[in-house]
Structure 1
């Protein structure tokens, strides 16, 4: 059995052979770039107007209007002292432009422009290179591309980007008592939910699951299912059958499929019977079967590894400290990840902390971490992992 910190370090220290691919920019959301990205030219690439108004030459109160410049047009006008042109947002300012005055602060009388206030030199002009200089680092290797990132890259004229490939993920759940939602439930049966929760948890963070498989509690079936699933996957996630019961065959089936144990069992609550292993450059997480345990282990251990496998700079859920809104005592002899809800910088530990209880997790938005046999008084700061 390992402690939480050891388990996290073992996962983080895994040597992974990252693969890259070229993708169209519009399909790069949530992928991480595989090399430093530098600006191919200055941005803006020319001095331009920040608003609709008038480009002015000189600092005076009255100007002569000598033309107009629309966005996308290249003006031949070379302004002289006391001259102005009508200009629109994004248009290149003429040579010798001192400032741009917004149209709301000016009056026009024939070809005369009269200002309501005196302009300041350089006002409302976006200078060439004001955002980026040519050759400047835009994003570091491992940057996870956001919608704004896609907009930034597109503004630099880039259509395709080299990114790290995301892992192929397969998911197996085990249990004779489990049936698919929608089917008639007999006495003693349970609707299977873990594959649904784990699959959408993966997808929530941009990692689609290739295939889901439900297997009965039979050693040969589990062994065969693992063999088939691990052949065409990068990361195999299992749920159930990893404890020490008479029908828990997953660990033995993994071993007979050549999966080398990296650790088994973590000193924590919930989620003690957690297995992590690898076979060459393929990795396996065997999670507990109880729904809340399974999902908690996914957030703390599996998600950061999916991100690491995808070349991300930053991995794992956001972690912050919040004031607890009530007294709480963790009577467990193990450090605990507790279902919680964060509201206005305060955290509430929810009722229903049993490892099989998924409702409280569905109502919460965080996992609060409290050490073994530790009491927290109202107002104390405790660490929380934000799920949503």
Structure 2
């Protein structure tokens, strides 16, 4: 058995080889750049108007309107002292222009323009290269692509990006008692929900589960499906069958498929029977079968490792400290990840902390980490992992 800190260190210390791929811009959100991006041209690439109004030549209160320039026009107009053109946001500034005045500050009658206030040189003109110069570094390698990043890269005219690949994930749940939602439930049966929760959690953070399979507690069947998954996937996640019961076959099936154990059992609650193993560049997490326990282990251990495989730095859930809203005693003999709700700047430890109880996790938005056999008073600070 290892401590939480030891388990996380083992995961963090895994030597991995990041793979790269080329993705088109619209399908690159959340991926990590595997190359630098520099500006291929000045941005803006020409002086342009910051608003709808008039481009003016000289500093005065009265001008003669001689034309119009719309966005996208390749205007050849050259302004002389005392002249103005109607101009629109983003349009190229005519040669000779001193400033742009917004239309709300003007009165136009036929070809005569009168200003409400005197303009200032350079007013409302976006200068060429004002944001970026040609060759300037825009994004460093290892930048994680955001919606704004996609907008920036698109504005540079770049369509295809070299990024780090995300791992292919397979999911296997085991248990004779499990049936799929929608089926008629008989005495002794339980609706299988872990695959749905784990798939949804992966998707929330930008990962897709390629294949998920439900298997009964049959050693040969489990062994065979593990073998198949290891051939086609990067990360195999199993749920159930990893404890020490008579029908818990997962650990042995992994060993017979050549998976080398990195750690098994973590001194924590919930999720003690947690397994992590490796076979060459294939990785396996075997999670407990209880729903809240399985999902908690995914958040704390699986998620940061999936992010590590994707080139994401500083991975894992966001963590903050909050004052507890009530006194609380953790009577467990192990450090605990407790279902909690953060509201109005304080954290409440929820009822329903059993490892099989997932409603409280669904109603909460955090996992509060509390040491074993610890008493807390109202206002004491607690480390919280944000799950929503």
For the superposition of Structure 1 and Structure 2, which TM-score range results when normalised by the shorter chain? over 0.9
**Does 1:226 pair with 2:226?**
yes
Of 356-365 and 71-80, the range deviating more from structure 2: 71-80
2:283 aligns with 283
Shift of 1:324: 2.2
Measure, in 1, the Cα distance between the counterparts of 2:380 and 2:58: 61
1:127-169 deviation per Cα after TM superposition (whole angstroms, max 9, x unaligned): 2222222222222222222222222111111111111221111
1:177-225 deviation per Cα after TM superposition (whole angstroms, max 9, x unaligned): 1111111211111111111111111112121111111111122222112
1:315 aligns with 315
Q: Helix, strand or coil for the counterpart of 1:23? A: strand
Measure, in 1, the Cα distance between the counterparts of 2:266 and 2:177: 26
Measure, in 2, the Cα distance between the counterparts of 1:119 and 1:275: 70
Task: Output the TM-score relative to the length of structure 2.
Answer: 0.96
Measure, in 2, the Cα distance between the counterparts of 1:160 and 1:153: 10
* Residues 330/81 of structure 1: CA separation in 2 closer, same or farther (3 Å cut): farther
Shift of 1:331: 2.0
Measure, in 2, the Cα distance between the counterparts of 1:376 and 1:119: 64
Residues 240 and 288 in structure 1, CA contact (< 8 A), matched pair in contact too: yes
1:300 aligns with 300
Q: Helix, strand or coil for the counterpart of 2:224? A: helix
List gaps (5 residues or longer) in structure 2.
none
Shift of 1:251: 1.1
Task: Output the TM-score relative to the length of structure 1.
Answer: 0.96
1:27 aligns with 27
Residues 55 and 101 in structure 1, CA contact (< 8 A), matched pair in contact too: yes
* Residues 82/313 of structure 1: CA separation in 2 closer, same or farther (3 Å cut): farther
Shift of 1:372: 2.1
List gaps (5 residues or longer) in structure 1.
none
2:18 aligns with 18
2:184 aligns with 184
Measure, in 2, the Cα distance between the counterparts of 1:376 and 1:136: 53
CA RMSD of aligned residues (A): 1.5
* Residues 16/46 of structure 1: CA separation in 2 closer, same or farther (3 Å cut): same
1:26-66 deviation per Cα after TM superposition (whole angstroms, max 9, x unaligned): 22222222112221112111111111011122332222222
1:369 aligns with 369
Of 121-130 and 36-45, the range deviating more from structure 2: 121-130
Measure, in 2, the Cα distance between the counterparts of 1:194 and 1:145: 30
Of 256-265 and 136-145, the range deviating more from structure 2: 136-145
Residues 64 and 113 in structure 1, CA contact (< 8 A), matched pair in contact too: yes
Shift of 1:382: 1.9
Measure, in 2, the Cα distance between the counterparts of 1:118 and 1:272: 74
Measure, in 1, the Cα distance between the counterparts of 2:78 and 2:109: 22
Of 344-353 and 268-277, the range deviating more from structure 2: 344-353
Of 281-290 and 118-127, the range deviating more from structure 2: 118-127
Residues 55 and 85 in structure 1, CA contact (< 8 A), matched pair in contact too: yes
